[in-house]
Amino acid sequence: MNRAQNASQPAKSTLNLGLKHRNTFGFDVSAELAYEITAPEQIPGVITEVAERKMVWRVLGGGSNVILPNVLPGATLLMNIAGQEIIATDKEASFIGVGGGVNWHEFVTWALENHFHGLENLALIPGTVGAAPIQNIGAYGVEIADYIDYIEAFDTMAHAFVTLSKEACQFAYRDSYFKQNPNRFIVTKVVFRIPKTWQARIHYADLAQQFANNPNPTPEDIFLAVCKIRMYKLPAPNVIGNAGSFFQNPVIPNEQYETLLKKHTSLVSYPDAPGKRKLAAGWLIDQCGFKGQRMGDVGVYENQALVLVNHGGGTAQDILGLAKCIQDKVHREFGVSLEIEPNIL
């Protein structure tokens, strides 16, 4: 991640670039104009050029948390900044800088192999390191925000590189300052703070079940268990197109939760902020009969109702049509609104 060595190399641009293999739904999509970003220094020139041409633009990482139309108009910046390095270490933690284009799961694997523990609960989440903080990805009781020290990004409003502390990122459940200010920041590097003291986090039901007879699992044990669970529940995108969890788990007031529980005694939920309860969106969808159902070329995955899939030939319009049917029925049955997790471009 040496800026100087790439400073003189402009970003490569391509017209009408096919992106079928750059989005995990596998939609047959093309970008009107695509730029390959391999170094942070390329970004100011690209943004200036795009502005001069009055083009709309967006950044695309692994395409794992997006719903893309058949044609992406304007400019698409393909985030391919690579590299990871140990920046510093002290008695309490190690600090690791990772390029925005690095594959998230590959980084988690690297961290585990190099004895940096804590990220193993986030194994097999698709996408890139640069996109992960925007959504504040999380799984099995861990969020990426738990391990971020600071983030380097290009601020398109100020037309300058900036560094945002963890506090400045304003992380919340599947939310961040980046998400609240779309198309303002382009994340180029994430610096993680990995504590040297480690404690297993296995309180989520699926993990707790895996370790019912092993209360002291190692980080490697948790990594393998998470991979096993995710491979069962979430189909590999190269086998069947999907974007992982399609809906956020809704958070409702305790009063509403108590009312629902009286009518639905097997309601699946988790504690949240004081006075609130988080419901399992997958359970709600399953109760409405959608699990394993198909609507044309798209459907709901047979092993996890929270995952919508493209059986081949599906489009963004097809997926959003199915999502609307699910949202409407869940609201009718439970009075709960489901929010779509992937970004709709």
Which residues are CB-contacts of 73 (< 8 A; sequence separation ≥ 6)? 32, 55, 56
What is the C-alpha separation between 130 and 63, in angstroms, rounded?
Answer: 12
Beta strands in 144-275 (DSSP E): 148-155, 160-165, 185-195, 241-245, 251-253, 269-271
Query: Within 13 Å and on the Cβ side, how many CA atoms surround 337?
Result: 2
Reference 87, options 155, 189, 167, 199; nearest CA is 189
Catalytic residue among 22, 174, 193, 230: 174
Q: Is 81 helix (H, G, I), strand (E, B) or coil?
A: coil
152 in active site? no
Of 64, 120, 245, 277, which one is the catalytic site residue? Answer: 245
Report the distance separating Cα 102 and Cα 80, nearest Å.
Answer: 7
Active site residue 13: no
- Structure tokens that stand for 207 in this block: 């993990």
Of these residues, 32, 36, 49, 341, which one is catalytic? 341
174 is catalytic: yes
Opening angle at CA 144, ends 275 and 146, nearest 5: 65
Tell the residue number behind the tokens 């986090």, with chain if given: 201
Nearest to 35 by CA among 26, 44, 27: 44
Q: Which residue has the tokens 């008695």?
A: 91
Output 201-204 pairs: Cβ under 8 A, ≥24 positions apart. 201/121, 201/140, 201/141, 201/142, 202/140, 202/141, 203/141, 204/140, 204/141
| Tally: H helices and E strands in the chain | 10, 20
- Which residues are annotated as catalytic? 174, 245, 341
